[in-house]
Amino acid sequence: MTPPVVSIVAKSGTGKTTLLEKLIVELKRRGYRVGAVKHDAHSFDIDREGKDSWRLTRAGADTMLITSPEKLAMVKQYHAEQEPTLAETVAAHCGDLDIVLTEGFKKSAMPKIEVHRRERSSKLLCRDEEQDPTLIAVASDSALNLDVPLYDINDAEGLCDFIVEKFLS
């Protein structure tokens, strides 16, 4: 079973990660198994130089796993293959979860909640700059006139009600 995916999108510097953190906390409080996916356009470096896991990846391991009684960590190289789509990534790694929230992935076809702050921009990515049919709600600090539900940017509980109602009921 592939869980539903909701992408939190925003112009940079609007506070996507902060809202995502609040939504994760709220969904966990309600007992859901939650995944979070972040896209990094650059070559991130999650592992630490000199550690055994880093040595195994450097030696050429296509997939490096560390497992402990508490958790699993994995670094998987894509090599010549294309980066999988968000839907493929979720299908491959999130089958045990109830819902997945993503940061970014503005161009995917997944449902989106846009975070908006007036001081950052007067315009919405998914409405003013283009008419994105996958937008399902907006979290803003401003009173906007919209064709989708509007939530206060700090109302993680209200947004969580909306997500549960739409995807988990």
Residue 12 makes contact with a second copy by CB under 8 A? no
Residue from 70, 119, 147, 165 that binds a second copy (CB under 8 A)?
A: 70
Residue type, 153: I
Residue from 12, 31, 50, 68 that binds a second copy (CB under 8 A)?
A: 68
Nearer to a second copy (CB atom), residue 2 or residue 142: 2
Residue 71 makes contact with a second copy by CB under 8 A? yes
Nearer to a second copy (CB atom), residue 68 or residue 131: 68
Handedness of CA 57, 60, 63, 69 (dihedral sign): negative
Q: Is 30:125 a contact under the CB 8 Å cutoff? A: no
121-128 long-range contacts, Cβ below 8 Å, gap at least 24?
A: 121/11, 121/14, 125/9, 125/10, 125/11, 126/9
User: Among 19, 5, 26, which Cα is nearest to 151's?
Assistant: 19
Residue 43 makes contact with a second copy by CB under 8 A? yes
* Site residues for a second copy per CB under 8 A: 17, 20-22, 24-25, 28, 33-44, 46-48, 52-53, 55-78, 83-84, 86, 89, 93-94, 96-97, 100, 103
